[in-house]
Structure 1
């Protein structure tokens, strides 16, 4: 009788509250590599970094596309940054996903907001963000293909930020194809009149509730601004009557800096009274930190994608959703996408 080894179901899943230094690619890369080593030494099997962790995120307003930092620092997946991460993943026998601006090798003027996956075998593949958010469209093109990769724990799916919170079709697709883990490199920031906590936390909770899988979300943390001299101003708080007092950011003398909120976490199905359980992380965690959770993937039943014992068919209906989208595409407004 053959010796059958079942798919592994106990996974050490890590996320990083990562403070990117704007425009300092080599410095950020060195810290990504150090975090990968630290995660592996602590027993992590997979570690997820934020969106654009390699370069920082903030868009330069009023700067032509070709002069924007992300465009200047973009490199193809065959470049040195991916090679360095692939090398350490091979050495430490760990999987890592990190965000970077990617330059298309065949069309060098085309840049994508990309998440790259590496593992014990080296470079695995990349996901180009399908839904660039707001000012990202000033420097990057839209991707068009979903991305997942195979591991001893099954299929691991990847989406980026806006994909996750606003376009549930991406998550549904991955869950329907068998993924039990979804990685969310993100760049969630404070902004006036924007309830980021509800958007972020309830968005992640809904992803777990609707798809019955595990979600690992890794966010940038701290100031991400062009002038690094202002990056670590933490010795003064906003005045009590300041309109920014409702934010958790420390004082910064630069007007309207980008402040990323951290709150990296791993969530998944619960078997107790809570439908969603937070396995590690916290909505108020706003310091750089590596977080690791041990999760039991068997808890994720993916119920709506399995056969209903009463009907003999899955409740999920891709045939109907295809028909609805075909109806949408009959409208020229959508057909010109």
Structure 2
């Protein structure tokens, strides 16, 4: 059992240093409220808006030597928490740029790892390279699987992470208000069909003509909404994740045990 904090933030478009300072403050606030895992949205360090920010993505991208990794590594150790945050990653060998998220644990000098958005949408395809691997991370709070925004629309992603023995799933997004009906469908569906906790954190704020609406939510393994954030402001959303509840639900809803993959052709 652990306490999760989803930090529904706005962002200053392209102002990485300013955003990092704000994210640091949010971490201190969440820690004071008892959070053990703190999760920020997609591209929280820079803002999203590929139509506005796309040409700057490469300049804003970071490798393991970047300031985002240094700050969150130090902060995770200082506060004794796990931090997950979306940022623009650059591969040191290929120079490819990814819409990614890092996972930081206490007591480590660098991130535990990163996961990269696999399914790119619309203008993202001009600037980012798609991720090619679904990753699950071993942490002191269990095995955590990560998805980014549009990935949630593909049932195979959440199912693959679940079959890789993820104990819970995180979904980091910059989801627009015009598609919020889909947001409120995808989360419960992915949670229920995999009987797994799914914590979905969304950006809030306006970027050009796009309104990112918030509505972050934490779903239990029945797909029920256990906590939901406002659509009108920044907010930190807290909830307790209980693996015993998940085990009990999987006993009564044995979707995973009753799968017949040999017939799904």
TM-score, normalised to structure 1, is 0.73
Contact 1:115 1:127 in 2 (8 A): yes
Structure 2 counterparts to residues 95-174 of structure 1, below 5 A: 95-108=82-95, 110-122=96-108, 123-164=111-152, 166-174=153-161
Aligned equivalent of 1:315: 258
Aligned equivalent of 2:79: 92
Aligned equivalent of 1:70: 57
Q: Please state how far the C-alpha of 1:319 moved relative to its aligned partner.
A: 4.7
Contact 1:11 1:297 in 2 (8 A): no
Q: Which has the higher strand share?
A: 2
Q: Which has the higher helix share?
A: 2
Contact 1:17 1:286 in 2 (8 A): no
Aligned equivalent of 2:219: 267
Q: Please state how far the C-alpha of 1:158 moved relative to its aligned partner.
A: 0.3
Aligned equivalent of 1:304: 255
Paired residue secondary structure (2:137): strand
Q: Please state how far the C-alpha of 1:216 moved relative to its aligned partner.
A: 0.8
Counterpart pick for 2:202 among 213, 219, 225:
219
Counterpart pick for 2:167 among 157, 173, 180:
180
Q: Are 1:286 and 2:238 counterparts?
A: no
Which string of whole-angstrom CA distances, capped at 9 and with x for unpartnered residues, describes residues 192-231 of structure 1?
A: xxxx232001110101110111111111101124xxxxxx
Q: Are 1:276 and 2:262 counterparts?
A: no
Q: Distance in 2 between matches of 1:182 and 1:208?
A: 8
Aligned equivalent of 2:177: 190
Q: How many residue pairs end up in the alignment?
A: 258
Q: List 4+ stretches of structure 1 deviating above 3 A.
A: 317-321
Aligned equivalent of 2:241: 295
Which structure 1 segments of 5+ residues have no match? 1-9, 226-256, 270-274, 306-313, 325-337
Q: Distance in 2 between matches of 1:259 and 1:35?
A: 22
Q: Distance in 2 between matches of 1:49 and 1:124?
A: 16
Which structure 2 segments of 5+ residues have no match? none
Paired residue secondary structure (1:163): helix
Contact 2:200 2:218 in 1 (8 A): yes
Which string of whole-angstrom CA distances, capped at 9 and with x for unpartnered residues, describes residues 141-165 of structure 1?
A: 011011121123321110101111x
Q: Distance in 2 between matches of 1:43 and 1:96?
A: 14
What RMSD over aligned residues (CA atoms) do the two structures have, in Å? 1.7
Paired residue secondary structure (1:266): strand
Q: Please state how far the C-alpha of 1:174 moved relative to its aligned partner.
A: 1.4
TM-score, normalised to structure 2, is 0.91
Q: Please state how far the C-alpha of 1:132 moved relative to its aligned partner.
A: 1.1
